[in-house]
Structure 1
Amino acid sequence: MLITLKDDEGNTLLTAEEIKSLVLEITVATVDNPSNAVEWALDEMLNQPHIFVKALQELDEVVGKDRFVQESDMSNLHYIRACIKESLRIHPFAPFNLPHVSTRDTTVAGYFIPKGSHVLLSRPGLGRNPRIWDDPLLFKPERHLKDDKSQVILNDPDLRIFSFSIGRRGCAGVNLGTTVSVMLLARLLQAFTWSPPPNTPYIKCVEGASEMLPSKPLLAFATPRLDEKMYYSLFQN
């Protein structure tokens, strides 16, 4: 589609370099953002075992142990979704959104933005804002659960967190990103019991010096928690 885009005179709209840049952005967002959210979630959950218990209780009630979790179960996995959203809040993949340029003079939240301004939003600045979030550095999935048990969405129209962006320039893959992130965490939690390495009572959740990824890859032990026949059927499929 990108290659065949042409203007009214039949000229190619995008250069090869522009197409490569777009494809790279799509690839990074699709793969790295969900995996980063899940790794940070496991990091945080290993330090708070009661969160693991709640997540497994939900999986056992909604899915059980006789089959693997499927996409059709996602609408009922409120706590799992809340864990992913909390990970995106505290540990965004990148410090800023993609640059936006204002097309006209405007005022947003009391700030005057002249036409032509490059607008960048701080992801950690929003997600860790103490004026919005109680104990902003504490991993607490319950903060995203609603009393009416309505589904937890991973983006936030009020921009209290910046996960998939919003509006006309919002991420086109928000549904895919949600599905990949929630399913990855749900499968890992359902299939294995996770524990920190020996003599490691606490895992330090530290960001890298030059990026927001974990400073060290997560090291944890995974023990199967389902019947062994389940794993054979998974590999056969």
Structure 2
Amino acid sequence: MLIDTHTHLDSHKFDEDRAEVIERAQAAGVHKLINIGFNRETIPTTMALAEQYSFIYAAVGWHPVDSIDMRPEDLDWIASLCDHPKVVAIGEIGLDYHWDTSPKDVQQRVFREQIALAKSKRMPIVIHNRDAHEDVVRVLREEEAKEVGGVMHCFSGSWETAKQCLDMNFYISFGGPLTFQNARVPKEVLARVPLDRLLIETDAPYLAPHPHRGKRNESSFVRLVANTIAELTGKSLDEIGRITTENAMRCFGIS
């Protein structure tokens, strides 16, 4: 059994065959999925999926790219959704210094506000980090995010960054890029991450694993990520499935 801990099945890229994509995920042994709602458009569609399917859960938050658009009432909205039984985390939140859509100071303020909300709700957080490793770690430390922990989504940093995140009660999640032939650093990090702090994901429809690189990703492909981890760690696919499933259920409080 597998859990895709980060997917966007509400994306318009699935409008023509969403039900079939979900069926393929189940056929591939993916028995639970966590869909991520990250702005004014995707939070409602994420909630709709979670309410439609018993095995789909939701994380809700405000993406750093959209930080400039976040209003105080949006934070209140996210807070109200945290009481929904299918919402298991706040995210994806964090910092993105690749896309120049929201000023860094605005991103950091919105990031801090959502960490504070997560602490008040006692919920884990899902971290988006692109080209902002130092500031992400600093904000997490300053805001004492260790109290709730969470997931470093689609981790792309060094072992030094991973170690700091592990010390703050975070799980390290790998997706499709781990399967790429040139993924030297992610594979080096994987070799040092404790198995009980390891998660898998797709980030579908983005970042499809080998041999689907460059095409639309989907949740059934999380099996390819798990298989790569099994090969790199010398474990069986069943073992990696069991370990990452237990980790996800513990991290997100899913029974």
* Interval of TM-score (by shorter of Structure 1 and Structure 2): under 0.3
Structure-2-length-normalised TM-score: 0.21
Structure-1-length-normalised TM-score: 0.23
Query: More helix per residue: 1 or 2?
Result: 2
Larger radius of gyration: 1
